[in-house]
């Protein structure tokens, strides 16, 4: 099993804006209201990122959000679906308007691209029980060693983490991670803002895990996997340094490490040197998407693994 893929899915937005339904527990979103040109700016950033990835020799499959539904966060498809060989998994979403994203015919587009899936596992029924699990937003997968790291939050229910691990044959490393919001320490909404796992490295904000035993358990699991651990601070986490993704190229050249320009600027020179040992850094500016969506480059990418 490989950790990375050369084929990804992205959704071109048609009505991107600040989603008030997600802002209740996504503290990376701005407090400002959406501006009139937000969709235009986000689309420009999205198209530039597509161009940059394709130039780097990644296969990008694009789903068009035609604007028929109220889907302001459709630009973040990694939260609604994940792919595992011949299986596709659909997930229960915290925000009601995000549930509409399952109607964007992602699997139909993949069928057209000769990437059909033999089995669909659908967890969306758990929305009726107010139990949520937002895909690779909350599940950071070590696909090589079959370990799923998850920070529990309103977007990640422990029973569904267990169900996923049973169905997909993973072992869970569960913990709680927090960020400073005003005078409070509040749960991080998605694990993928504080952790990223590549083939031979892991970026993680260990300081966000307040419980020392759980923090040590996460560190130990990462060390046992043989990966180089690159720790980031909470300030770096707040600038999306944890929201990065390793990809392969179609020609199997050096791996790529995809991140936003903001994240790149907040990594130290020493951290960048350590990362470049593991792959070529591919950075792109997505400031509008980060500001209003509360997600960054990794959130925009759904990895496609197919056999």
The predicted pLDDT at position 51 comes to 98
Mean of pLDDT values over 16-28: 96
Locate 14 and state its tokens: 């048609």
Q: If pLDDT is split at 50, 70 and 90, which confidence band does 156 have?
A: very high
Contacts of 109 (CB under 8 A, 6+ apart): 9, 61, 63
Query: Rounded to whole angstroms, how far apart are CA atoms 4 and 31?
Result: 35
The predicted pLDDT at position 251 comes to 87
Domains of the chain: 7-303 (3.75.10.10)
- For the full predicted model, state whether its pTM sits above 0.95: yes
Query: Rounded to whole angstroms, how far apart are CA atoms 175 and 151?
Result: 5
Mean of pLDDT values over 216-242: 98
The predicted pLDDT at position 33 comes to 87
Query: Rounded to whole angstroms, how far apart are CA atoms 203 and 242?
Result: 6
Res 195 pLDDT > 80: yes
CB-based contact 175:215 (threshold 8 Å): yes
CB-based contact 200:278 (threshold 8 Å): yes
Res 103 pLDDT > 80: yes
The predicted pLDDT at position 307 comes to 66
Question: What distance separates the 2 farthest-apart alpha carbons in the chain?
Answer: 51
CB-based contact 288:45 (threshold 8 Å): yes
The predicted pLDDT at position 306 comes to 81
Query: Rounded to whole angstroms, how far apart are CA atoms 175 and 142?
Result: 16
**Which segments of 158-211 does DSSP mark as H helices, in order?**
158-168
Mean of pLDDT values over 89-104: 97
The predicted pLDDT at position 250 comes to 87
Contacts of 190 (CB under 8 A, 6+ apart): 26, 79, 134, 137, 138, 151, 153, 155, 295, 299
Res 63 pLDDT > 90: yes
Strand partners, 7: 59
């Amino acid at each position: 099993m490989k950790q990375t893929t050369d084929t990804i899915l992205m959704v071109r937005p048609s009505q991107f804006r600040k989603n008030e339904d997600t802002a209740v527990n996504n503290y990376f979103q701005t407090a400002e209201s959406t501006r009139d040109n937000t969709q235009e700016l986000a689309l420009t950033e999205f198209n530039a990122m597509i161009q940059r990835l394709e130039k780097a020799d990644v296969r990008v499959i694009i789903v068009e959000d035609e604007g028929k539904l109220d889907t302001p966060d459709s630009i973040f498809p990694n939260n609604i679906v994940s792919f595992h060989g011949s299986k596709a998994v659909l997930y229960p979403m915290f925000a009601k308007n995000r549930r509409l994203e399952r109607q964007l015919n992602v699997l139909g587009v993949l069928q057209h691209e000769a990437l059909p899936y033999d089995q669909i596992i659908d967890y969306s029924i758990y929305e009726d029980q107010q139990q949520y699990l937002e895909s690779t937003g909350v599940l950071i997968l070590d696909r090589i060693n079959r370990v799923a790291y998850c920070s529990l939050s309103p977007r990640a229910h422990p029973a569904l983490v267990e169900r996923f691990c049973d169905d997909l044959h993973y072992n869970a490393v569960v913990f709680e991670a927090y960020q400073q919001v005003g005078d409070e320490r509040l749960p991080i909404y998605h694990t993928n803002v504080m952790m990223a796992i590549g083939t031979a490295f892991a970026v993680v904000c260990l300081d966000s895990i307040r419980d020392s035993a759980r923090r040590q358990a996460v560190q130990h699991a990462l060390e046992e996997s043989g990966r180089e651990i690159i720790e980031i601070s909470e300030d770096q986490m707040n600038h999306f340094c944890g929201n990065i993704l390793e990809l392969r190229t179609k020609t199997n050249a050096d791996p790529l490490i995809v991140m936003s320009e903001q994240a790149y600027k907040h990594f130290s020179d020493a951290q960048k040197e350590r990362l470049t040992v593991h792959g070529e850094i591919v950075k792109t500016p997505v400031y509008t998407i980060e500001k209003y969506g509360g997600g960054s480059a990794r959130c925009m990418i759904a990895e496609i693994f197919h056999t």
